Structure 1
Amino acid sequence: MLSVPASAQTAPGADAGDEEAGQEITVTGYSRSLEEAIDIKRNTIGFSDSIVATDIADFPEQNLSEALQRVPGVTIERERGLGTRVNVRGLPTEFTFVSINKLATASGSGGRDVEFDIFASELIQSVTVQKSPTAADEEGGIAGSVYIRTARPFDNPGLRLVGSAEGAYNSISEKIDPNFSFLASNTFGDFGVLVSVAKQQRSNRTDSNSGINFRPISRWTDKAGANRDQAIAVLARDAGVTFTDDMKNRIVFLDKVGDRVYQNDQDRLGLSGSIQYQPSDQFNLVFDAFAGSYDTVEDEYDAAGYSASSNSTLDTIHEFDATTLADDGIIVLRDVSYTNTQHEFLSKEYRNSTDYRQFGGEMNWQAGDWKINALGGYSGAKKTLDYANLKHVAYAPSRTRYTETGGETIPSADPDTIDMYNAPESYLFEAYETTRERIKDDKYAAQLDISREFQTPFLKRFNVGARYTNKTNERDYGEEKIQGPTRGSTAYVNKRTLADSPLESVTEIVGGKGYQARDLDWAQVSNEYARAFFRPDGFVTPFDDGQYYKVREETIAGYAMADFEFELAVPVFVNLGGRYLKTTVKSEGFHQVQNADGSTGYTDAPVSSEGSYEKFLPAINAHAELTDSLILRAAASQTLIRPALTDLAYKRTASWNSFRFTDGNPDLQPTYADQWEVGIEKYLGSGGILAASYFWKKIKGVVQSELTGVVEGVTKYNANGTIDGVYDFDVYQPVNAEGSYKVSGVELNAVIPFGMFVGWAEGFGINANVTFLDSSLTGQSDLDIATSPIGLADNTYNATVFYERGPVSLRVSYNHKGAYVERIERNMYPVYRDAYGQFDASASYQLTPNFRLELQGINIGNAKTTGYTMDPSFPTTYEFSGSRISLGVRAQF
């Protein structure tokens, strides 16, 4: 468990006169935060870990997910150098329930997972990761529940003003980004008001040699003709392989090798406010508001050799590997010349705008032995996504092969070959493709909890409560393709070349250093020019009825639980309870129909489908105080996670290159888990703790994508409107898989202030944790290739060494996540993300009692992201996002 860097405090008892006379400044914020987090852990009935921000701007990370990565059992997913989603105990992100101020959080993702990168961490007061639920906790966290709490005025009564400003430098983009935050809080007798704001801009560049995936030889052998015959003949001639149909998915080649430069610009604004009425310790009424916006523009410049083009085939196999993956019967064509590679220059632009808001009220009232807690509120997010892709294509013979770190496409021996990076006149304009997506995510909730205290030797408290939630997710989506300078024009199809557009070096377009992944440079069309040239006035990407869906989920839940205290050689505390819930789901969308003329269309009005389920979920949490500082803790429960709203959606999407339709499934049931945990905690005093626990989960009804049908005779078109062929398309749906799997693990956690052992080490300490995981689940490979579950890393560990004495605070952290399966390529070949470790550091100096200077570094070792397909000798990703150094000042009054 971790808190965040220090806030300034003078020595106990100091007054303003002392400070003015030169009172020595002592920084105690980090240690104090550690002690507060340990107190939360000790006083929670079940298993939990917390981080606490004693003041605004105490989180040094880029967003909230990066602050959470140091909590025991918590890892994060990174996308191009930025933490995004949170994994608890190695389970998928959608298995984690997230709430802000006790209300379920919307982020516009359309799933159960929350996109933490949209939240400014400076607005957060504390975060607790609850790993063993009680009956009163809202269901929904098989992995765990993340409870986020924003600041309130009576957290620190009186007038309080805190502000910070910093500039952050990225080592690759070489840009400096500003970051500001401010908090004002005051209490006026029984009333208190708090307002805070955080504003951040972030510019980050990522260079990547990636997209190097397996493609089965069935790409050509499934179609009769000369390309099939030649592929089979070359396999026999150069690799000695006699092809049979049962080998079609076990002979693989490099599908696409790409060199990419990403430039991501983010603009985040967060606001929080709180009005609190607290006339006494027996009554408290508070209204919280949490709102903000998160806008990103990402430019991707991609130069790629697509060896699997439909009008190509094998020419010469220079090297093949039949031994590395022999246990799975897979032959890898490592180095191949192809007859007609599709070379692509892609200028892609992603625009994402998310507006989120949350409003809620809570009342706590105690009258004698009775306590009443009531809360209600709304959480919502609106997201719009605008995507564009300017595509130029050149067909020519080329050679594609693996390199030590990735892959490359080079000229072949064929006289018609080209140098794909330096032949702009060979690339024909194919299309300017656009998509537009709009997602609206709304959640309403209300809860009433009533408890009564009992002055008996055994029963201490009894709770009953009820909760109502209503969640709606609505999505519109559409595509538009321009193949000329105006809508519908074909005047320049196959006539306009890449050379006819103004070209610039990709590194000059995005700015910063030279390309980091390889010794390479190339020229492309900037997205700024593409947007201006290819989008005429009035251009709008229309929404497609067939892609619309709306899912509404309504849940009513009731619970009861009791707390018991008794002596059994030592004091024992038990919380026992159960929760009953009933959920109704209604999904609607436009259904595909056959018109009288034989064409396909959609119904005039949305067609709906309904489903429902109900469940009783028991829970028990207990701990025994073996000594004043030694606690034995245990918990057992049943819990669930509901299907992603996108999986429930009544719609069909097509993946033309994969020859696949994907349907939603409104009849999906939740995924359930039986779980238990036992642990021991030794509290050392002086802000120290040693803790160890063993947890076990049996997960049933996990949602997996499975083949549920086939659509025959589907015509597939090329981008230029010509027919690629007529194929049978598989239909996949998310379903609740039969059977169950088990996940178990061990968590170890230590916070040790060294000063408790020797005086000279006062101020030094370490905060470290490690998690070991094991699972019986294998990945969803159609070839029955054994893999661990997607996202599950067998081990994670984090360590922070800190020093805090006088006006100085120092911290160095290392965060490590082991290798894990990132996805199953084509539902057949597991693709792994390599183990990843990153060093972060921070230093601060308290200049005066009111001002502090701060220096922070993220990924100071410039760790790269790498990945591979099945074996490290087949790399897929080689990615650099650089380090980030920030310098700032903070004021507190």
Structure 2
Amino acid sequence: GSLDQAMGVKRDAAGVVDAISAEDIGKFPDTNLAESLQRITGISIERRDGEGAQVTARGFGPQYNMVTLNGRQMPGADAYGAPGQVAIGGVDGGTRAFNFAQLAAEAINGIEVYKTSQAQVPSGGIGATINILTARPFDNEGVVASAGVKAVSDRSQPFDNDVTPELSGIFSYTNPDKTFGVGLSASQQKRKGGSVQATGNGWNIQPWTGTMPGNPNVVNAPAIGELYGRPNDLRYAFSEFERERINGQAVLQFAPTDSLTFTLDYTYSTNEIREDRGEQAMWLQNAQYTDVEFDTSGAVATPIYIREIAGTKDFGLEQQRTMQKYKLGSLGFNAVWNVNDDFRLTFDAHNSKNESRPNDPLTGGGSIFSSIAGTNNCTTGPHCGGSYV
């Protein structure tokens, strides 16, 4: 069973290794590999639009982990351009972290997580080295085929048709002598979703002197000299997104002798995302506070309630459509020669390319953006009661 396979990997390894098999992956409704990996001890995931994207191992973020596909290092490319977002594990869209949302879970034979260095594992992962194992024809005998049809209902958005399909298929053939095998797999997944957010954006951090502008009534004030924060502006955002992921893999294996095996494989993946986002922003005056209540449980005291009678300083309305396409291609050749029971030679070569680029068919860019901004000069009237957080 799957537990026996995982224990076998741990028992045979020289270091600290965890593993999850295809059987384990198939038991749960995981949409991609990141969500499968979170079931391993010491692994946590970061989500994007409600779906697992990248992993943290032993407290080290995505940029500190090495990801390999069948032992080959996978390049990272993630320039996600949604408003207010940058690449996970990167700065302003640059990252060396691998985006697991590019790979569906259906065609994966297993995942190995190496938490300590080993001679046969590529170096470079401070947190862990994660090796993704794809299906091989020689793993089975004869003809093996399967097909899967699923539907996902996402209630986070108001589309009329919130049910989207997920299709997958796997075919494998090995001749009776097990000298030749071919394997094919493909999957297509669509999803629609959305989110509603209310956030504070940007904070003024400074030592507490005993008062604030306007001499407000303060509840649970920090001690003199302790740091406290004031929000710059408030933002309310609503977004709707559509995502389509297509995966495919082809594998050929040839074993002219019992001790010699050749493997040629190609892995292909595309992930297209479109997001429509509307946002309203209101900047505070930071001038005439009347009531403030702090939460002092953290290193920096932050207000859980703040009232400013002067009204907002400025306001802005934004509408943005962001389109992004991720494309991964990996071609590899592997030869294994078992010279004897104690000595084996392995040759492996591969060419892998990962792209993340804008995908707007009209402008060739990544975003269509419109913005309206103004100044609030309101002094009297029913809408001049102030701002609340």
Normalising by the smaller structure, the TM-score range is 0.7 to 0.9
- Distance in 1 between residues matched to 2:298 and 2:350, nearest whole Å: 57
For residues 257 and 334 of structure 1, do their structure 2 counterparts lie closer, same or farther at Cα, with a shift above 3 Å needed?
A: same
In the alignment, which residue of structure 1 is the partner of 2:355? 382
SS at 2:215's partner residue? helix
> Is contact 1:253–1:333 with CA below 8 Å preserved after alignment?
no
Query: How far 1:339 moved relative to its partner?
Result: 5.4
> Is contact 2:201–2:232 with CA below 8 Å preserved after alignment?
yes
State whether structure 2 residue 326 is matched by structure 1 residue 354: yes
- Distance in 1 between residues matched to 2:144 and 2:374, nearest whole Å: 63
State whether structure 2 residue 105 is matched by structure 1 residue 128: no
Query: How far 1:58 moved relative to its partner?
Result: 5.8
Query: How far 1:362 moved relative to its partner?
Result: 0.9
- 107, 122, 130: which one aligns with 1:146: 130
For residues 56 and 415 of structure 1, do their structure 2 counterparts lie closer, same or farther at Cα, with a shift above 3 Å needed?
A: closer
- Distance in 2 between residues matched to 1:319 and 1:56, nearest whole Å: 52
Query: How far 1:248 moved relative to its partner?
Result: 12
- CA-to-partner distance for each residue in 1:194-251, whole Å, 9 max, x for gaps? 0100100011111222235423589xxxxxxxxxxxxx9x94642499xxxxx99956
For residues 328 and 63 of structure 1, do their structure 2 counterparts lie closer, same or farther at Cα, with a shift above 3 Å needed?
A: closer
- Distance in 1 between residues matched to 2:50 and 2:357, nearest whole Å: 23
In the alignment, which residue of structure 2 is the partner of 1:203? 192
In the alignment, which residue of structure 2 is the partner of 1:100? 69
- Distance in 2 between residues matched to 1:152 and 1:374, nearest whole Å: 17
- Distance in 1 between residues matched to 2:34 and 2:294, nearest whole Å: 42
- Distance in 1 between residues matched to 2:329 and 2:295, nearest whole Å: 55
State whether structure 2 residue 152 is matched by structure 1 residue 168: yes
Aligned-partner residue type, residue 102 of structure 1: G
For residues 327 and 206 of structure 1, do their structure 2 counterparts lie closer, same or farther at Cα, with a shift above 3 Å needed?
A: closer
- 374, 378, 388: which one aligns with 1:394: 374
- Distance in 2 between residues matched to 1:59 and 1:415, nearest whole Å: 57
- CA-to-partner distance for each residue in 1:755-802, whole Å, 9 max, x for gaps? xxxxxxxxxxxxxxxxxxxxxxxxxxxxxxxxxxxxxxxxxxxxxxxx
In the alignment, which residue of structure 1 is the partner of 2:10? 41
SS at 1:257's partner residue? strand
When the two structures are aligned, how many residues end up with a matched partner? 353
State whether structure 2 residue 204 is matched by structure 1 residue 215: yes
> Is contact 2:172–2:181 with CA below 8 Å preserved after alignment?
yes
Matches within 5 A, 1:2-17: none
- Distance in 2 between residues matched to 1:88 and 1:365, nearest whole Å: 34
- Distance in 2 between residues matched to 1:419 and 1:237, nearest whole Å: 16
> Is contact 1:64–1:121 with CA below 8 Å preserved after alignment?
yes
> Is contact 2:196–2:238 with CA below 8 Å preserved after alignment?
yes
Matches within 5 A, 1:255-654: 255-307=232-284, 313-321=285-293, 324=296, 334-338=306-310, 340-368=312-340, 369-385=342-358, 386-396=366-376, 414-415=380-381, 417=383
In the alignment, which residue of structure 1 is the partner of 2:81? none
> Is contact 1:252–1:333 with CA below 8 Å preserved after alignment?
no
- Distance in 2 between residues matched to 1:326 and 1:200, nearest whole Å: 42
State whether structure 2 residue 151 is matched by structure 1 residue 179: no
Query: How far 1:394 moved relative to its partner?
Result: 3.1
For residues 236 and 364 of structure 1, do their structure 2 counterparts lie closer, same or farther at Cα, with a shift above 3 Å needed?
A: closer
- CA-to-partner distance for each residue in 1:670-711, whole Å, 9 max, x for gaps? xxxxxxxxxxxxxxxxxxxxxxxxxxxxxxxxxxxxxxxxxx
Matches within 5 A, 1:55-74: 60-74=29-43
Q: Pairwise CA RMSD of aligned residues?
A: 3.2
- Distance in 2 between residues matched to 1:260 and 1:274, nearest whole Å: 45
- CA-to-partner distance for each residue in 1:2-58, whole Å, 9 max, x for gaps? xxxxxxxxxxxxxxxxxxxxxxxxxxxxxx222222221222221111111149966
- Distance in 1 between residues matched to 2:295 and 2:356, nearest whole Å: 48
Larger radius of gyration: 1
For residues 103 and 236 of structure 1, do their structure 2 counterparts lie closer, same or farther at Cα, with a shift above 3 Å needed?
A: closer
> Is contact 1:169–1:177 with CA below 8 Å preserved after alignment?
yes
SS at 1:35's partner residue? helix
- Distance in 2 between residues matched to 1:48 and 1:104, nearest whole Å: 18
Aligned-partner residue type, residue 87 of structure 1: T
For residues 388 and 248 of structure 1, do their structure 2 counterparts lie closer, same or farther at Cα, with a shift above 3 Å needed?
A: farther
For residues 135 and 418 of structure 1, do their structure 2 counterparts lie closer, same or farther at Cα, with a shift above 3 Å needed?
A: same
> Is contact 1:253–1:334 with CA below 8 Å preserved after alignment?
no
User: What is the TM-score when the length of structure 1 is the normalising length?
Assistant: 0.37
- Distance in 1 between residues matched to 2:297 and 2:168, nearest whole Å: 53
Query: How far 1:95 moved relative to its partner?
Result: 1.2
> Is contact 2:53–2:101 with CA below 8 Å preserved after alignment?
yes
> Is contact 1:348–1:388 with CA below 8 Å preserved after alignment?
yes
Aligned-partner residue type, residue 106 of structure 1: P
For residues 297 and 248 of structure 1, do their structure 2 counterparts lie closer, same or farther at Cα, with a shift above 3 Å needed?
A: farther
Query: How far 1:321 moved relative to its partner?
Result: 4.2
Aligned-partner residue type, residue 131 of structure 1: K
- Distance in 1 between residues matched to 2:185 and 2:139, nearest whole Å: 14
For residues 58 and 159 of structure 1, do their structure 2 counterparts lie closer, same or farther at Cα, with a shift above 3 Å needed?
A: farther
Query: How far 1:315 moved relative to its partner?
Result: 4.7
Matches within 5 A, 1:72-83: 72-83=41-52
> Is contact 2:167–2:187 with CA below 8 Å preserved after alignment?
yes
SS at 2:10's partner residue? helix
Identical-pair percentage: 22
- 84, 96, 105: which one aligns with 1:112: 96
In the alignment, which residue of structure 1 is the partner of 2:181? 192
SS at 2:288's partner residue? strand
- CA-to-partner distance for each residue in 1:477-518, whole Å, 9 max, x for gaps? xxxxxxxxxxxxxxxxxxxxxxxxxxxxxxxxxxxxxxxxxx
For residues 384 and 47 of structure 1, do their structure 2 counterparts lie closer, same or farther at Cα, with a shift above 3 Å needed?
A: same
- Distance in 2 between residues matched to 1:296 and 1:323, nearest whole Å: 38
> Is contact 2:47–2:54 with CA below 8 Å preserved after alignment?
yes
> Is contact 1:55–1:125 with CA below 8 Å preserved after alignment?
no
- Distance in 1 between residues matched to 2:236 and 2:315, nearest whole Å: 12
Question: Segments of 4+ in structure 1 off by > 6 A?
Answer: 329-333
In the alignment, which residue of structure 1 is the partner of 2:361? none
- Distance in 2 between residues matched to 1:286 and 1:86, nearest whole Å: 29
> Is contact 1:207–1:261 with CA below 8 Å preserved after alignment?
yes
For residues 419 and 128 of structure 1, do their structure 2 counterparts lie closer, same or farther at Cα, with a shift above 3 Å needed?
A: farther
Aligned-partner residue type, residue 161 of structure 1: A
SS at 1:255's partner residue? strand
Aligned-partner residue type, residue 377 of structure 1: H
SS at 1:126's partner residue? strand
- Distance in 2 between residues matched to 1:331 and 1:269, nearest whole Å: 45
Task: List alignment gaps of at least 5 residues for structure 1.
Answer: 1-31, 219-231, 242-246, 308-312, 399-412, 421-874, 876-893
In the alignment, which residue of structure 2 is the partner of 1:690? none
- Distance in 1 between residues matched to 2:201 and 2:281, nearest whole Å: 10
User: What is the TM-score when the length of structure 2 is the normalising length?
Assistant: 0.81
- Distance in 2 between residues matched to 1:327 and 1:352, nearest whole Å: 37
In the alignment, which residue of structure 2 is the partner of 1:605? none
- Distance in 2 between residues matched to 1:328 and 1:58, nearest whole Å: 44
